[in-house]
Homo-oligomer: A and B are copies of this chain.
Amino acid sequence: MATLYLIPTTLGESSHARVIPPFNDDVVNQLRHFIVEDVRTARRFLKKMNPAFNIDSCVFFVLNQHTSPQDLEGFLKPLYEGTDMGVLSEAGCPAIADPGADVVAIAQQKNHKVVPLIGPSSILLSLMGSGFNGQSFSFVGYLPIQPAERSKALKKLESRAYAESQSQIFIETPYRNMKMLEEIIQTCQPATRLCVAVDISLDTEFIKTKSVKEWRSQLPDLNKRPCVFIIYKP
């Protein structure tokens, strides 16, 4: 039976050596069939990994919010026929806060071997750097956009951080980061701790934990930079 490999990519313009183990290159060099979030990014990633990689011999299937379950089934045909395949997301780990899980679920149903490779996850790295509880944590993706719902969601996360001693991780679309930050420091209790993790694995990376009260006196510039937010009790 063929294997489905889950292949992490760099988070923005970092070098491969910074974030990708050498083994991944050995695996990827053997593959010619890829399910990808974006063909252009995938081609650039493969070329950067191995400038001699024969991209023109590759087949790319595009997986995004427009992909139907029927399309997905079709994408996996090479796998059913005995050919190993790879899943590449646009940045970071496939199937984590990114498309890919549906493809993996089908491969699992059909009893194919699934092998996740190691690479950068901004969620995990942010949590490591936060100093918050890593024995219990929760990632909830994006919060609702509508103000009342969003405020309610934030309060729910905060109360769960306190009641369950659980680190609460979430993200925002980069151009809305500053608004998110302002809403957190308005909504959460002054003593609640907030970690802001920006540009993870890039030269401009910073991971900073302070109380909401401390953040109020000085807001960092998060505008249009990839950012992970984590809240936790004092």
Which of A36-44, A53-61, A75-83, A127-135 makes up part of the contact surface? A127-135
Taking the complex as formed, is A62 at the interface, i.e. its CB lies under 8 A from any CB of chain B? no
Complex Cα distance, B114 from A134, in Å, reads 15
For this complex, 28 residue pairs linking A to B, each with C-beta atoms less than 8 Å apart, are A6-B128, A6-B129, A15-B23, A19-B21, A19-B118, A22-B22, A94-B128, A95-B128, A95-B131, A95-B134, A96-B124, A96-B128, A101-B132, A101-B134, A102-B131, A105-B131, A113-B206, A114-B129, A114-B207, A116-B125, A116-B126, A116-B128, A118-B118, A121-B124, A135-B141, A136-B140, A136-B141, A138-B139
A59-89 contacts to B (CB < 8 Å)? none
A96 contacts across to B, CB distance below 8 A: 124, 127-128, 134
A22 contacts across to B, CB distance below 8 A: 17, 22
A1-58 contacts to B (CB < 8 Å)? 6, 15-23
Taking the complex as formed, is A212 at the interface, i.e. its CB lies under 8 A from any CB of chain B? no
Complex Cα distance, B16 from A116, in Å, reads 16
A-side interface mostly: mixed
Taking the complex as formed, is A208 at the interface, i.e. its CB lies under 8 A from any CB of chain B? yes
A97 contacts across to B, CB distance below 8 A: 134-135
B166 touches A124 (CB 8 A): no
Determine how close the nearest CB of chain B comes to the CB of A95; give it in whole angstroms: 5
Taking the complex as formed, is A174 at the interface, i.e. its CB lies under 8 A from any CB of chain B? no
Complex Cα distance, B110 from A39, in Å, reads 44
Known: A101-B133, A140-B136. A118 touches B120 (CB 8 A): yes
Residue of B nearest to A18 (CB): B23
A19 contacts across to B, CB distance below 8 A: 21, 23, 118
In the A-B complex, the 3 residue pairs with the closest CB atoms: A105-B131, A116-B128, A104-B131
